[in-house]
A and B are shown apart, each in its own frame.
Chain A
Amino acid sequence: GAVVSQHPSRVICKSGTSVKIECRSLDFQATTMFWYRQFPKKSLMLMATSNEGSKATYEQGVEKDKFLINHASLTLSTLTVTSAHPEDSSFYICSARDIRDSEETQYFGPGTRLLVL
């Protein structure tokens, strides 16, 4: 149980284009999902908290107009990197919290590697 998937696993795009990354909870419902960014050999940096049916909460320094988050259902959240630039190249990881889990553990997706040329 508690499986989270991400799609795509890796994507290469041209500078100036937009890229959408999906995060799905496969066997549980998640009112809250989280988006992280991880640079090579570094820790995870929380970008935003995605809440089903409402606006995402962004961390300080994260541009909400550049990193669009939509959480339209209890099993799906999407992150769209708009007008991507080479500095947006990174590893993006989502996590989801099972609403039935009283200990509120976050389960992580396998990540999406984004390369902007």
Chain B
Amino acid sequence: AQTVTQSQPEMSVQEAETVTLSCTYDTSENNYYLFWYKQPPSRQMILVIRQEAYKQQNATENRFSVNFQKAAKSFSLKISDSQLGDTAMYFCAFRNTQGGSEKLVFGKGTKLTVNP
């Protein structure tokens, strides 16, 4: 079974600085999707960024980028120029593309606080 591990329960960063959130996963599949979701205090889950495993280029979305290391099964999220609105829980998630399963497997989350 696939597992997703986020080893940092909490992190903090000063406004305008850069922070990296870690995520590792375990799978025997070769192709799959990886996601980072953000859950602010409103509790609305918001997609931050996604990556397909067969794409070697790291995904970027404005201030958010990932460092995808397939061999190491690592998928870290870098937030540049952190803003107060980035304060939220961040969940890393894995989804298989094989076997018809569409289930998302989530990590336990990292609580990020951006300090003024």
List the interface of chain A (C-beta within 8 A of B). Answer: 32, 34, 38, 42-44, 46, 49, 91, 93, 95, 97, 103-108, 110-111
Contact = CB atoms under 8 A, between A and B. Distances in A.
A95 B44 CA distance: 11
B43 A107 contact: no
B45 A104 contact: no
B108 interface: yes
Which bracket fits the contact residues of B?
20 to 34
B45 A105 contact: no
A103 B52 contact: yes
Contacts of B106: 43-44
B107 A104 contact: no
A4 B35 CA distance: 18
A105 B91 contact: no
A97 B102 CA distance: 9
Contacts of B42: 110
B43 A110 contact: yes
Given A93-B45, A103-B52, A44 B91 contact: yes
Contact of B104 (A34, A42, A91): A34
Contact of A49 (B47, B95, B102, B108): B102
B44 A46 contact: no
Interface string B65-105: 00000000000000000000000000100010100001110
Contacts of A111: 43-44
A43 B107 contact: yes
B104 A43 contact: no
Give the most central of A46, A97, A106: most B CB within 10 Å.
Answer: A106
B109 to A, nearest CB: 5
B50 A42 contact: no
Interface in B35-68: 35, 37, 42-47, 50, 52
B17 to A, nearest CB: 25
9 contacts: A38-B43, A43-B108, A49-B102, A93-B43, A97-B102, A103-B52, A104-B97, A105-B47, A111-B44
Contacts of A93: 43, 45
